[in-house]
Amino acid sequence: MDITYYGHSCFGITINEKNILFDPFISPNELAKNINAETVKADYILISHGHEDHIADAVSIAKRTKATVICNWEISVWLQNQGVENLHPMNIGGKKLFDFGSVKCVNAVHSSSLPDGSYAGNPMGFVVETNDKNFYYAGDTALTYDMKLIGDYRKIDFAFLPIGDNFTMGVDNAIIASQFIHCSDVIGMHYDTFEFIKIDKPEAINKFNRQGKKLTLLEIGETITK
Ligand code: NI
Ligand code: MN
């Protein structure tokens, strides 16, 4: 599968020829000004929670691509009111099989509201299983013992973890999270976008290395293959 980084916590992943877009926040992101949100592909859009820095481009991309948006019930109602047509509401603990693989919604310890102040339900992360690899997209979350359930549940080949601290867990807690989920291959997200979450990238990578783990920090626009 190919993984393209669009900045902050936004990734496009191609699985079984379907384009899965996570937490679209591109056009307001200064660091992602070379990415054109109007050309980003999506067959599915997965949204972890309602905060602006995870949903800013969701309505426009969903309308243009007719992608199916997978999110919690409250966010799906809000998106429907914005004119988004294809929605698949889920909630924490639920799993569903799609044509690219299955999605299980898991706990995230954070908050959630929509840009206009609407109630957005609870934040969540996703465990995605495919016939190739399995991965965990944590969304915005603190370190939580619930992550041990994920490690017990499935083999996680790689994981997207927030590392920017301040609003979510930082590097040190992300290393513990990677232990909880039994996964040594981590792609960092939710760092550097704002002043509050600027990190020392070489130091973050070194900290993971010292624990025998790999932290990948993609350039915005970069694509890697897993
Ligand atoms: Ni958030
Ligand atoms: Mn966030």
Q: Which ligand is nearest to the CA of 197?
A: 2
Report the separation in Å between the CA atom of 179 and the middle of ligand 1, taken as the mean of its atom positions: 23
Q: Give the pLDDT confidence score for residue 162 in this predicted structure.
A: 99
Q: Give the pLDDT confidence score for residue 21 in this predicted structure.
A: 98
The CATH number linked to 32 is 3.60.15.10
Q: Which residues of the chain have pLDDT under 50?
A: none
Report the separation in Å between the CA atom of 51 and the middle of ligand 2, taken as the mean of its atom positions: 6
**193 neighbors 53 (Cβ within 8 angstroms):** yes
Q: Give the pLDDT confidence score for residue 127 in this predicted structure.
A: 98
Q: Give the pLDDT confidence score for residue 89 in this predicted structure.
A: 98
Q: Which ligand is nearest to the CA of 162?
A: 2
d(CA 80, CA 98): 20
Q: Give the pLDDT confidence score for residue 30 in this predicted structure.
A: 97
Report the separation in Å between the CA atom of 190 and the middle of ligand 2, taken as the mean of its atom positions: 7
Q: Give the pLDDT confidence score for residue 68 in this predicted structure.
A: 98
Report the separation in Å between the CA atom of 155 and the middle of ligand 1, taken as the mean of its atom positions: 27
- Any idea what the Cα angle at residue 203 is, between residues 177 and 150, rounded to 5°? 10
d(CA 214, CA 125): 21
Report the separation in Å between the CA atom of 125 and the middle of ligand 2, taken as the mean of its atom positions: 12
Q: Give the pLDDT confidence score for residue 178 in this predicted structure.
A: 98
The token pair that represents 110 in the structure block: 């954070």
Map residue 206 onto helix, strand or coil: helix
Q: Give the pLDDT confidence score for residue 220 in this predicted structure.
A: 98
Range of the domain at 98: 2-225
d(CA 109, CA 118): 19
Q: Which ligand is nearest to the CA of 50?
A: 1
Q: Which ligand is nearest to the CA of 194?
A: 2
Report the separation in Å between the CA atom of 167 and the middle of ligand 1, taken as the mean of its atom positions: 7
Report the separation in Å between the CA atom of 55 and the middle of ligand 1, taken as the mean of its atom positions: 10
Q: Give the pLDDT confidence score for residue 39 in this predicted structure.
A: 97
Q: Which of 72, 190, 91, 88 is nearest to 138 (CA)?
A: 190
pLDDT tens for each residue of 87-118? 999 999 999 999 999 999 999 999 999 999 99
Q: Give the pLDDT confidence score for residue 79 in this predicted structure.
A: 98
Report the separation in Å between the CA atom of 131 and the middle of ligand 1, taken as the mean of its atom positions: 30
* Burial (CB count <10 Å: 0-12, 13-18, 19+), residue 202: exposed
How many domains does the chain divide into? 1
Q: Give the pLDDT confidence score for residue 181 in this predicted structure.
A: 98
